[in-house]
Amino acid sequence: MQALVGDIVPAEQLIPFLCECADDACLGRVAMKRADYGDIHGDRDRYTILRDHQMADGEHVVEQRPLFDVVSKAAVV
């Protein structure tokens, strides 16, 4: 999938991804560049949500970016 996107989408273009918050009914869109997606999701315990969206117990915001938050399931060290 990432190889296909790399051939079609310019590196600097924002791509809308579904918010990965704990609300199963959320249809919010998190816009990011493909490099950001790969960097964040390279760690299987990290994902992105829209600011102030619902998190499950044990999840923590590890980074706030201008358009979204990066959340981790792992314990904060």
- Report pLDDT digits (tens) over 36-66: 998 999 998 999 999 999 999 999 999 999 9
Q: Is the pLDDT of residue 77 over 90?
A: no
pLDDT reported for residue 11:
81
Read off the pTM. 0.79
The CA-based dihedral angle spanning residues 8, 18, 61, 6, taken in that order and rounded to the nearest 10 degrees = -10
CB 41 within 8 A of CB 68: no
